[in-house]
Structure 1
Amino acid sequence: MARYALTDIHGCLKTFKTMLQDVLRLQPTDHLYLLGDYINKGPDSKGVLEYIFELQRNGFQLTCLRGNHDQLLLDAVSKGEQAVWLSGEDKAKTLENFGVTSFAEIPELYRTFVQNLPLLVVLEDYVLVHAGLNFSRPNLLATDNHTLMNTKRQQPTAAKMGHRLLVHGHLPVPQKTIERLCHKPKGAINLDAGCVYYKNEEFGKLCALNLDTRELHWLPNQDAPYAIKVKD
């Protein structure tokens, strides 16, 4: 049995599948933690969600968290399409992928899945979240939802984290940065290697972390080519 974490798939279904099947060789006895941002930007948002459903039906152990891009789906329904800050191109790509013309038309199956996703998971040795925690708060676990899914600025301290390590995504960083963070005994590890941004030589990889051994697994984007900015 092994525990793995990865994040920010962003519709890159082929890369996601290849990572699980060929790189990690995921088994039903393993536990996979997905840290959010399953949809938008990449070529197959719907396919990523359906593959997650397939894994769950087949008895694989998954814990899925909600990211800010997943939250967009809910905001578009509850607050209106103006709440979706995606570029027109990215918005059109996601809607076309789901076969609809508005986010409100995305089937309830997918919206319910996102609605039920937790924003924070606390393990004996790790705290898992999409973006990060508010380290100015006395109680880190009382961090507000917006920060959990959106923060790009945090200063993790060993004093506040205790014996746990923070693992998150949200802000793409180069492979060397992730490797350096992974070798630190305490603090935080950002696993977002910018998989969807295959045109940027610093990014374009999916990264998975073995939570038991701290081993990193890498896979270059397998979904390209598709329309995407170098980095926005």
Structure 2
Amino acid sequence: MRKFFITDIHGDTKGLELLLSKAEVDWKQDQLVVGGDMINRGKDSAGVVKHIKQLTEKHPGQVHALIGNHEEMMGNYIKHGDKLWLSHGGHDTLRSFARTCPGQDEQQALMEWAYSLPLYFEDEEYVYTHAGLYPEEPLEQQSREILWMTEYEFYRQPHEPLLSLTGGRPVIHGHTPVERIYFDGVRMNCDMGSNTYQVLEERSLGMVNLTEMIYHVYRQADQRLETRRIGRI
């Protein structure tokens, strides 16, 4: 079984589909974890959510999806009327759901699924989450504030408390865009800035193969696919 991770897709259905094909995921035995922020900024937020939801239903036990801070904002808007989400792409995302889902009930169900996803997933090798973890909180009692944790805040934490929290397992995450993926033995940031990174030419979506320590990259500006090896630091 190979283990794959993709995060911060931000409405790029084309990139998602190309990377799944490039990775040649074997749905009978491989594992895929989606690290949240499926929506906002890109053109097809609802299409991404629908695709991921279908994968989780078609391959239960093999595909696992997590919530990101953008799904959290959407939930706060739908449930409580918090308008923060609207200033981060919410208007376009609402239009995307209206285009993709023929009825209001289907739209609502798809949105509820996205903002009700878990904060983390764990297997025997890794712990997966959107942005980070607080080492002082038990894994099953992590605050929802971890969805907003900056890379600086997460990476300034000493290795030992994090590994104690996870039982020695590295944390695989996203949230803060990077141009290259590196592994320090404790954390790996896999957000490559899809529809987000300030340098347009570097906006990419990455599919990480944790088993082989490589990642496939879809570069959005020139629609080029690349395969790179994960750096070690």
Same fold per TM (> 0.5)? yes
Please report the TM-score for the alignment, with normalisation by the length of structure 2: 0.80
Describe the SS at the equivalent of 2:10: coil
CA–CA separation in structure 2 for the residues paired with 1:157 and 1:64? 28
TM alignment of 1:1-232, pairs within 5 A? 1-21=1-21, 23-28=22-27, 29-59=29-59, 61-84=62-85, 86-87=87-88, 90-99=89-98, 107-135=107-135, 137=136, 139=138, 142-146=141-145, 148-152=146-150, 153-154=153-154, 155-162=156-163, 163-175=168-180, 178=181, 181-182=182-183, 184=184, 186-197=185-196, 200-201=199-200, 203-221=202-220
Query: Given the superposition, is the C-alpha separation of residues 167 and 4 from structure 1 closer, same or farther in structure 2, using an over 3 Å criterion?
Result: same
Query: Given the superposition, is the C-alpha separation of residues 145 and 68 from structure 1 closer, same or farther in structure 2, using an over 3 Å criterion?
Result: same
Query: Given the superposition, is the C-alpha separation of residues 159 and 57 from structure 1 closer, same or farther in structure 2, using an over 3 Å criterion?
Result: closer
Cα offset, 1:151, TM superposition: 0.6
* 1:9–1:37 contact (8 Å) kept in structure 2: yes
For the aligned residue pairs, the C-alpha RMSD in angstroms reads: 2.4
Cα offset, 1:195, TM superposition: 1.6
Q: Could you give the per-residue CA deviations for residues 36-87 of structure 1, whole angstroms, max 9, x where no partner exists? A: 0000110000110111133234437210000000111210012214242524
Moved more, 209-218 or 137-146: 137-146
* 1:36–1:64 contact (8 Å) kept in structure 2: yes
Query: Given the superposition, is the C-alpha separation of residues 62 and 223 from structure 1 closer, same or farther in structure 2, using an over 3 Å criterion?
Result: farther
Cα offset, 1:143, TM superposition: 2.8
CA–CA separation in structure 2 for the residues paired with 1:121 and 1:202? 32
Query: Given the superposition, is the C-alpha separation of residues 221 and 144 from structure 1 closer, same or farther in structure 2, using an over 3 Å criterion?
Result: same
Query: Given the superposition, is the C-alpha separation of residues 202 and 134 from structure 1 closer, same or farther in structure 2, using an over 3 Å criterion?
Result: farther
5+ residue gaps, structure 1: 225-232
CA–CA separation in structure 1 for the residues paired with 2:53 and 2:66? 14
Describe the SS at the equivalent of 1:207: strand
* 2:121–2:127 contact (8 Å) kept in structure 1: yes
Cα offset, 1:91, TM superposition: 2.8
1:131 maps to amino acid? A
* 1:43–1:223 contact (8 Å) kept in structure 2: no
Query: Given the superposition, is the C-alpha separation of residues 198 and 169 from structure 1 closer, same or farther in structure 2, using an over 3 Å criterion?
Result: closer
Query: Given the superposition, is the C-alpha separation of residues 142 and 198 from structure 1 closer, same or farther in structure 2, using an over 3 Å criterion?
Result: closer
CA–CA separation in structure 2 for the residues paired with 1:201 and 1:84? 23
* 2:177–2:196 contact (8 Å) kept in structure 1: no
Query: Given the superposition, is the C-alpha separation of residues 54 and 158 from structure 1 closer, same or farther in structure 2, using an over 3 Å criterion?
Result: same
* 1:66–1:119 contact (8 Å) kept in structure 2: yes
Please report the TM-score for the alignment, with normalisation by the length of structure 1: 0.80
CA–CA separation in structure 2 for the residues paired with 1:127 and 1:46? 27
* 1:15–1:223 contact (8 Å) kept in structure 2: no
Query: Given the superposition, is the C-alpha separation of residues 222 and 49 from structure 1 closer, same or farther in structure 2, using an over 3 Å criterion?
Result: farther
* 1:45–1:94 contact (8 Å) kept in structure 2: yes
* 1:14–1:222 contact (8 Å) kept in structure 2: no
2:141 maps to amino acid? A
Alignment size in residue pairs: 209
